[in-house]
Amino acid sequence: DVATAKSTRWQRSRIAWYGGETEIVDWTTGTALWYSTGTPPLRIRWVLVRDPNGERRTVAYFSTDMHQSAPTIITDFVKRWSHEVTFEDARAQLGLETQRQWSDKAIERTTPALFGLFSIVVLMAYAFYPHGQLPLSQAAWYPKSHATFHDL
């Protein structure tokens, strides 16, 4: 196991991290072949990332771009997180991927329309509350300090 082997050579870097922060991580990298039934093997670069303080679990990232450096692979994955949150919010708040279209063309029209409407609502909220002081809907069992799409 590469992650626990004493012979593994770890490097330490400061990486752009979630929330606009930077984080010091240990990483090691290598190449491998990714096998999948019915397709030819695919060359990948893998990167193992561990927390030098041991507070977070060790994770693996993969890239098919063999020229990409390990720190770039890590930061590219971190940058994806905001996209993942956007899609999760769109599923929860707008019903993305739950529409019942009968044609590919309808699907191709509906998803961009939902994202467009989402953007318009957010821009309107910023126009009405330029300093970010949106009124928050509160519940006794769920206190919150930041506005959600529901509040808009």
Domain count for the chain, please give it: 2
* pLDDT tens figures, 34-88: 999 999 999 999 999 999 999 999 999 999 999 999 999 999 999 888 888 888 8
pLDDT at 139 over 80: no
Residue 4 in domain: no
Beta strand 22-36 with 59-63 is: unpaired
Confidence of residue 99 (pLDDT cuts 50, 70, 90): low
Cα four-point dihedral sign 79, 34, 51, 28 = negative
Does 113 lie in the same domain as 69? no
What is residue 25's predicted lDDT score, i.e. its pLDDT?
96
The whole-angstrom distance between residue 147's C-alpha and the CA centroid of its chain comes to 20
pLDDT at 130 over 90: no
Does 71 lie in the same domain as 22? yes
- Asked whether the beta carbons of 31 and 51 are under 8 A apart, the reply is no
Determine if the pTM surpasses 0.75.
no
Of the residues 32, 48, 79, the one at which a domain ends: 79
Does 75 lie in the same domain as 15? yes
Does 75 lie in the same domain as 28? yes
Residue 55 in domain: yes
Confidence of residue 131 (pLDDT cuts 50, 70, 90): confident
What is residue 98's predicted lDDT score, i.e. its pLDDT?
73
Residue 2 in domain: no
- Asked whether the beta carbons of 144 and 136 are under 8 A apart, the reply is yes
Of the residues 31, 48, 79, the one at which a domain ends: 79
| Mean pLDDT estimate for the chain | 87
Burial of 49 (0-12, 13-18, 19+ CB in 10 A): buried
Residue 140 in domain: yes
State which residues form the domain around 72: 11-79
Does 145 lie in the same domain as 103? yes
